[in-house]
Amino acid sequence: MNDTDGNTRDRSGAVVRPPFAWLAAVGGGLLLDGAYPLPLLSGFVTGRLIGVVIFLMALALLVWAAATFRRAGTEIQTTRPTSTIVETGPYRFTRNPIYTAMLLGLVGLSIAFDSLWLLILLVPFYLVIRYGVVAREEAYLERKFGDGYLAYKARVRRWL
């Protein structure tokens, strides 16, 4: 795989590091909520608990996915080469459990903070992840692993 300048590279070429995109969505949502509050549930106290539970479930999924990657000996960072296709743990159910966890985390925070802004910013976050990260990762994995990745892709959904 070559860059336009001829340098060999072994990475996905994602347009953004996903944790930074997630932090931007959360930070932007909270800033907008502070400046122009848009309540999601209008003081629904139980909603905060539900939001915290959803966020904690998302965090657990993220930790499980990251630990599965580490056990497989491959990189989590999009800027580093992938050494293997991981098909165990949460990767049996979704090809993108870390990004799924990030999306669920935003939903949980939106409910916990009673912020429609966080839910609104979920849309651009999803679009950046889907088209700027996942699409590039999938193309990279197809080039690198060929039929092995295509078989995995045919068996396991992109999301849930």
Whether 46 has a pLDDT exceeding 80, the answer reads: no
CB of 157 closer than 8 Å to CB of 95:
yes
Q: From its phi and psi, is residue 72 left (phi > 0), alpha (psi between -120 and 50) or beta? A: alpha
pLDDT tens by residue, 53-65 = 999 999 999 999 9
Task: Convert the pLDDT of each residue in 60-89 to its tens digit.
Answer: 999 999 999 999 998 888 888 889 999 999
The domain of 65 spans 18-74+83-155
Q: What is the mean pLDDT of the chain?
A: 89
Is the Cβ–Cβ distance between 145 and 68 less than 8 Å? no
Per-residue confidence band for 8, with pLDDT thresholds at 50, 70 and 90 = very low
In a domain, 7, yes or no: no
Give the rounded percent of residues in the chain with a pLDDT score beyond 90: 74
Is the pLDDT confidence value at 5 over 60?
Answer: no
Question: Does residue 160 sit within a domain?
Answer: no
Task: Tell me the one-letter amino acid at 85.
Answer: I
Q: Please report whether residue 139 resides in a domain.
A: yes
Q: Tokens representing 108?
A: 């949980």
pLDDT at 99 over 90: yes
Whole-number pLDDT of residue 43: 64
Whether 5 is covered by a domain: the verdict is no
**What's the domain count of the chain?**
1
Distance CA 13, CA 90 (A): 24
Q: What percent of the chain clears pLDDT 70, i.e. is strictly above it? A: 92
